[in-house]
Amino acid sequence: MTQTPATRSASDSALPLDTPGGPPSPAPGQRGFFGHPRGLATLFFTEMWERFSFYGMRALLILFMTATVEKGGLGFDAQKASAIYGLYGAGVYLTAMPGGWLADRLIGQRRAVLVGGIIIALGHFSMALQGVFFFYLGLLLIVLGTGLLKPNISAMVGGLYPEGGARRDAGFSIFYMGINTGGFIAPLVVGYLGEQVNWHLGFGAAGVGMVLGIIQYLVGGRHLGEVGQKPRSEAAQGSGQSKQGSSRTVAIAVAGVLVGLLGVLQWAGVVDLTTPVGLANAGGFIILTLALAFFAFMFTAGGLDATEKRRLGVIGVFFICSTIFWAGFEQAGSSLNLFARELTDRTVFGWEMPSSFLQSINSLLIIGFAPVFAWLWVWLNKRANEPSSPAKFSLGLVLLGAGFVVMVAASLAVAGGNKVSPMWLVLTYLLHTFGELSLSPVGLSTVTKLSPQRTVGQMMGVWFMSMSLGNLIAGRVAGQFEAMPLPQLFGAVAAVAIGAGLVLAVFVRPLRRMMGGVH
């Protein structure tokens, strides 16, 4: 999943970007990065190298786990490897919430980004070592580090523009070019080293990228002024220690409930927490339960008026659609990556291209088409023909499903034992990118508009849950790569996505009325 100027991301910008009561923008004399504060360059390159490390490792992850021990891999079957992949993706989204809380309440955004980057680098270097223990330790460290870095570096970009407006939007557009640049280059460099030379060398190269990001972050820190220096609880007047204490209490209570629920599930034999598959099942159950409990509480005891309840209902519909979308979209790094390795003819002028190279396609397409979609929505808006948010969600789901229809055809073509052209995957990624540009930025923007202002932060946390749940489901679906005929597997994903999109299309008008004037 490659983030765009308006997308993503729990892991990128799915947090409110304004920093109320934040520091002033750097003085005009400090501007020197395309007419923007020089601090933007610092954050741009930090994010670029972080994404280089993230997407480089992601391109290798499923391939390394499923490679035989003789070839240097772990020898996991597709079901186990995909469950681990799903848990990893889900963890990245879930840790963004406590990562933002720690920065806001305790250590500040500036320090959170630095500590997060160091932890990420240690995670990659751990994976560069031999042994399953170091592999799991590395994944855990990367999840924890990303949870600290991702939400806070985006918030710091917002802090450079306390005045908001179009200039801040332009700054974020530049910032997200760093994301996609890193996402494009990483599979080419890290993927080549991992697949062609040594898996652990590839993971180590991802760590080197993060170290480069840390170094330039420290060197360029002087250009950030006071942005992100203090926790918001200290910067905001009258916050006091009571808020920190109550926040800690809530966090401890939530953690206790989660641990207790996991224990009950294990004791009752509902899940087996000793296996990746069992952990993925338990994680999905807990996320879904928490989301349902939150919506039920808000409807019954949240103090919402009739309009707010209707809008909350729309968010619930979008939550389901978002989960379905990411469950399909995140096949890119799992089942589609396996398809690229095993069933795609990657020979170019007598040289076999590493399968991980195809993971660069989405970032390249985002760079090329994000401005086109931005222009298209503006152009349609001027003519009063811009699709509503539900209509864009519907379009995104149908495009996602259309991509898997392409994969059904590709799967049928390999039934005779022949490998297919990589253009099948390129066409699939093109359709998925169009779906992403239709749905992902809309989801983030619309949730902030539909949420009661006093609960925007909570609703964004719930929105992260939809992405996290989608990643878990993606891992479970990809786990059927070896057990189910591929036309049936990809056909089922296509049917669910297109079906959900068409059902949503039927209810576009009622949903628009429920949105109460929010477009």
343-360: pLDDT as tens digits: 999 999 989 999 999 999
Distance CA 85, CA 253 (A): 28
Instruction: Summarize the chain as % helix, strand, coil (round to 5).
Output: 75, 0, 20
Is the pLDDT assigned to residue 170 strictly greater than 50?
Answer: yes
- Domain range annotation of the chain: 37-237, 304-519
Instruction: Give the model's pLDDT for residue 14.
Output: 38
The rounded percent of the chain whose pLDDT value lies above 90 is 54
Residue-wise pLDDT for 226-262, tens only, equals 887 877 655 444 444 554 555 556 557 766 777 787 7
Are 138 and 127 in contact by the 8 Å Cβ rule? The answer is yes
Instruction: Give the model's pLDDT for residue 18.
Output: 37
Is the pLDDT assigned to residue 375 strictly greater than 80?
Answer: yes
Residues 163-185: what's their mean pLDDT?
80
Distance CA 54, CA 209 (A): 9
Distance CA 433, CA 438 (A): 9
Domain 304-519 in this protein, CATH class = mainly alpha
Within this chain, domains 37-237 and 304-519 share the same CATH topology:
yes
Distance CA 348, CA 23 (A): 53
Distance CA 93, CA 143 (A): 9
Give the Cβ contact number of residue 24 at 10 Å.
Answer: 11
Choice between 217 and 517, residue whose per-residue pLDDT is larger:
217
- Residue 134's pLDDT band, with cuts at 50, 70 and 90, is very high
Distance CA 41, CA 515 (A): 38
- Residue 282's pLDDT band, with cuts at 50, 70 and 90, is confident
Choice between 167 and 294, residue whose per-residue pLDDT is larger:
294
DSSP category for residue 197: I
CA–chain centroid gap for 198, Å, is 27
Are 178 and 40 in contact by the 8 Å Cβ rule? The answer is no
Choice between 185 and 232, residue whose per-residue pLDDT is larger:
185
Q: Which fold has domain 37-237?
A: Growth Hormone; Chain: A; (1.20.1250)
Residues 445-461: what's their mean pLDDT?
80
Least confident of 7-11, 32-36, 178-182, 295-299: 7-11
DSSP category for residue 32: E
Give the Cβ contact number of residue 76 at 10 Å.
Answer: 18
Only one residue has tokens 């580090």, namely 145
Helix (H) or strand (E) holding 500: helix 486-506
Give me the torsion for CA of 287, 292, 296, 302, rounded to 10°.
Answer: 40
Handedness of CA 370, 375, 378, 380 (dihedral sign): negative
Most confidently predicted of 11-15, 179-183, 430-434, 453-457 = 430-434
Is the pLDDT assigned to residue 22 strictly greater than 50?
Answer: no
Least confident of 42-46, 158-162, 237-241, 299-303: 237-241
Instruction: Give the model's pLDDT for residue 250.
Output: 59
- Residue 8's pLDDT band, with cuts at 50, 70 and 90, is very low
Choice between 377 and 346, residue whose per-residue pLDDT is larger:
346
Instruction: Give the model's pLDDT for residue 16.
Output: 37
- Which of 212, 255, 281 shows the shortest CA–CA distance to 45? 212
Distance CA 61, CA 341 (A): 13
Q: Which pTM does this prediction carry?
A: 0.87
Choice between 27 and 311, residue whose per-residue pLDDT is larger:
311
Residues 29-41: what's their mean pLDDT?
71
Are 325 and 396 in contact by the 8 Å Cβ rule? The answer is yes
Most confidently predicted of 88-92, 189-193, 454-458 = 189-193
Handedness of CA 61, 324, 472, 270 (dihedral sign): negative
Residue-wise pLDDT for 141-154, tens only, equals 999 999 999 888 88
Bridge partners for 352 per DSSP: 347
Residues 288-293: what's their mean pLDDT?
86
Distance CA 17, CA 298 (A): 24
Instruction: Give the model's pLDDT for residue 165.
Output: 63
Least confident of 4-8, 76-80, 174-178: 4-8
Residue-wise pLDDT for 383-417, tens only, equals 877 788 999 999 999 999 999 999 999 999 998 78
Token digits of residue 357: 């190279």
Residues 49-72: what's their mean pLDDT?
94
Give me the torsion for CA of 289, 294, 296, 299, rounded to 10°.
Answer: -160
Mean pLDDT of the chain: 85
Residue-wise pLDDT for 304-331, tens only, equals 889 999 999 999 999 999 999 999 999 9
Residues 287-298: what's their mean pLDDT?
87
Instruction: Give the model's pLDDT for residue 193.
Output: 96
